[in-house]
Amino acid sequence: MKNLAQIKSELKPISSEKTYREYLAIIDSLVDCAENSPEEELLELVSILVENYESRHYPIEAPDPLEAIKIRMEEQGLKRKDMVSYFGSASRVSEVLNRKRPLTLEMMRKIHIGLGISAETLLMG
């Protein structure tokens, strides 16, 4: 493998899958490096380039609001009955989670505050 100085001097924005895979291999080889070392500096530089490439070529879509709610329910061990305070009634919980009724702004506010789901995610529906 090339030495650190040589790798650093050859870094450039990623423009192909081949270069992307090469940079991933560099990250893999440096992931356990010592803090405040030249290796850590190189790891940070390569990581920035990889993150930039991934954001352009593999964007992550915002989650569906109802899926985000269901995931948070699962994470926190919540049942549908626990959601009544956010939706207003047991029947409303069922209607919303089964996509028969949309989330209202009031529901979104309560869910955002109570469950910590971003307002942006809740508004995407």
Which structural domain range is residue 91 located in? 65-123
Predicted model pTM: 0.55
- The answer to whether residues 42 and 26 touch, using CB atoms and an 8 Å cutoff, is yes
Tell me, yes or no, whether 70 and 118 share the same domain: yes
Question: Which ranges of the chain would DSSP assign to H, the alpha helix?
Answer: 4-10, 17-30, 38-57, 65-76, 84-87, 90-97, 105-115, 119-123
pLDDT: is 2 or 8 the higher one? 8
Q: CA torsion 34→37→43→44, rounded to 10°?
A: 110
Average pLDDT (118-123) is: 90
pLDDT tens digits, 64-108 = 999 999 999 999 999 999 999 999 999 999 999 999 999 999 999
Tell me, yes or no, whether 9 and 37 share the same domain: yes
* pLDDT score of 1: 56
Tell me, yes or no, whether 40 and 76 share the same domain: no
Residue 59 CA to residue 114 CA, distance in Å, equals 28
Lookup: tokens for 96: 């919303």
* pLDDT score of 4: 78
Tell me, yes or no, whether 71 and 53 share the same domain: no
- Domain at 98, CATH number: 1.10.260
Place of tokens 């790798």: 7
Tell me, yes or no, whether 27 and 45 share the same domain: yes
Tell me, yes or no, whether 73 and 49 share the same domain: no
Residue 15 CA to residue 95 CA, distance in Å, equals 47
* pLDDT score of 125: 62
* pLDDT score of 3: 80
Domain count, the chain: 2
pLDDT tens digits, 23-64 = 999 999 998 888 999 899 999 999 999 999 999 998 877 779
Tell me, yes or no, whether 77 and 115 share the same domain: yes
Tell me, yes or no, whether 52 and 80 share the same domain: no
Tell me, yes or no, whether 51 and 72 share the same domain: no
